[in-house]
Copies of this chain bind each other. A is one copy, B any other.
Amino acid sequence: MYTTQELAELADFYKNQLLNDTVPFWFPRSFDEEFGGYLLMRDADGSLIDTDKAVWIQGRACWLLATLYNTVEQKEEWLKGAQLGYAFLKEKCFNAEGKMYFHVDRAGNPIRMRRYFFSETFAVIAFAAYAKASGDEEAAELARKIFGTCMQYADGSLKMDPKFEDTRPSKGIGIPMIMINTAQQLRESIGDPRCDVAIANWIKEIESNFVKDDIRCVMEQVAPDGSIIDHIDGRTLNPGHAIEGAWFILHEARYRNNDPAMIDLGCRMLDYMWERGWDKEHGGILYYRDVYDKPVQEYWQDMKFWWPQNEAIIACLLAFLMTNEKKYAEMHKQIHDYAYAYFHDKENGEWFGYLHRDGRIAQTAKGNLFKGPFHLPRQEWYCSQIIQQFLADKSINS
């Protein structure tokens, strides 16, 4: 169990890491005053390894800066930084048909389009947070418009290019999960009347189709009827991803006056995937597992990535705060201690992204096409904020 004093210290720890270790690694040096957006592909010491821009990460960085401005301190540097990302995303990252690229060069010339709409979901949260920070009405309208497009992709009325033929249809947990969080961010920054109902439906979709109580598991993909597809891809689990989904649902439970069914669902998802993902030998959350313990296609399945640890830190903390169950405080302490011992770069700040199973560093980049200022600062920001809110509620109620 964490005492009130210990929780207050944890909140201070996360806030201090966020503001004095993580954010200063990235900003202001990553602001691209010349071309707009951010230069985020950096080695351990902060040196630039590539000037290209990953559109997911441009959106996430813009969201972070605007969110810090909205919720931590109205620093001019953060607002101006958010403006750089907003303008770059809006002006450079859409093709003629309005679909967003995945990867552009420093000046915003397109390098790669992918079929997915995750660039769009990160633009929604970035534009919404920036609209709140700046009062820019166009940004708010664009956030709502792109969210509408995402909803159409999510319900299938807008089609993505298919990756697979029709022989064995499947659906992933990724789309309802990302949509829950996108809608939550949109709702909590600038508000949108579509969000409450849509979130409830996506949570129902996850509970009905992906959560398997009989085998204590959250599937990463299933057949359209929710059944398990007993082939390599269909059997592959992503525990960190499911645990991220668990805290999105716990967050929603809190928004809905601590809805007990949602708390129960979020905690079940966390329990199941902690059982499958926690590495009892070396600590940390493993990347992939097979639902029946067969070999996973991805040969690097036993590596430790930074972001599953971030998601598990949030999920365990939130589960503890909402249930007061001792086991979640213990799990939180385990993952927190592991992650800050192995991932945190005490010399240069921020975290390494990629460790071998035993904790040795596999690759030193702090930023690349997939890693940037997002999961770690989001975790530190969210955890410090949520503890402060719980402590404030407690002092009002006591």
Interface residues of A (CB under 8 A from B): 41, 43, 49-52, 101, 104-105, 109-113, 163-165, 167-168, 231-232, 294-297, 299-303, 305, 353-354, 356-357, 362-365, 368-369
Residue of chain B at shortest CB distance from A48: B294
* Residue of B294, B303, B362, B368 touching A297 (CB-CB under 8 A): B368
Residue of chain B at shortest CB distance from A164: B112
B295 adjacent to A299 (CB under 8 Å):
no
Known contacts A299-B300, A363-B301; A232 and B165 CB within 8 A of each other = no
Min CB gap A112→B, angstroms: 5
Count chain B CB atoms within 10 A of each CB in A43, A51, A165, A168 and give the residue with the most: A165
Count chain B CB atoms within 10 A of each CB in A295, A297, A300, A301 and give the residue with the most: A295
B232 adjacent to A369 (CB under 8 Å):
yes
Pull 27 A–B residue pairs with CB atoms less than 8 Å apart, ordered by A: A43-B295, A49-B232, A49-B294, A49-B295, A101-B165, A109-B167, A109-B168, A110-B165, A110-B167, A111-B165, A112-B163, A112-B165, A232-B369, A295-B363, A295-B364, A295-B365, A296-B363, A297-B365, A297-B369, A299-B300, A299-B303, A299-B362, A299-B363, A300-B300, A301-B363, A302-B363, A356-B356
A76 CA to B117 CA in the complex, in Å? 53
A271 CA to B168 CA in the complex, in Å? 46
B232 adjacent to A295 (CB under 8 Å):
no
A300 CA to B294 CA in the complex, in Å? 20
A105 CA to B164 CA in the complex, in Å? 12
Residue of chain B at shortest CB distance from A51: B231
Residues in chain B near residue A50, CB distance under 8 A: 231-232
Min CB gap A46→B, angstroms: 13
* Residue of B52, B111, B295 touching A368 (CB-CB under 8 A): B295
State the 3 A-B residue pairs at the shortest beta-carbon distance, nearest first: A299-B354, A300-B300, A295-B365
Residues in chain B near residue A168, CB distance under 8 A: 105, 109, 111
Residues in chain B near residue A365, CB distance under 8 A: 295, 297
A109 CA to B164 CA in the complex, in Å? 12
Residues in chain B near residue A105, CB distance under 8 A: 167-168
Min CB gap A296→B, angstroms: 7
A297 CA to B50 CA in the complex, in Å? 11
Residue of chain B at shortest CB distance from A41: B232
Count chain B CB atoms within 10 A of each CB in A299, A357, A368 and give the residue with the most: A299
A365 CA to B298 CA in the complex, in Å? 11
Residues in chain B near residue A353, CB distance under 8 A: 299
For the complex with contacts A105-B167, A232-B369, 16 further pairs of A-B residues with Cβ separation under 8 Å are A43-B294, A43-B295, A101-B165, A109-B165, A109-B168, A110-B167, A111-B165, A112-B163, A113-B165, A295-B363, A295-B364, A295-B365, A296-B363, A297-B365, A299-B363, A302-B363
B113 adjacent to A231 (CB under 8 Å):
no
B364 adjacent to A232 (CB under 8 Å):
no
Residues in chain B near residue A363, CB distance under 8 A: 295-296, 299, 301-302
Residues in chain B near residue A295, CB distance under 8 A: 43, 49, 363-365, 368
Residues in chain B near residue A368, CB distance under 8 A: 232, 295, 297
Min CB gap A375→B, angstroms: 15
A51 CA to B235 CA in the complex, in Å? 13
A305 CA to B299 CA in the complex, in Å? 9
Residue of chain B at shortest CB distance from A109: B167
Residues in chain B near residue A49, CB distance under 8 A: 232, 294-295
Residues in chain B near residue A369, CB distance under 8 A: 232, 297
B300 adjacent to A111 (CB under 8 Å):
no
Min CB gap A335→B, angstroms: 20
Min CB gap A110→B, angstroms: 4
A365 CA to B288 CA in the complex, in Å? 15
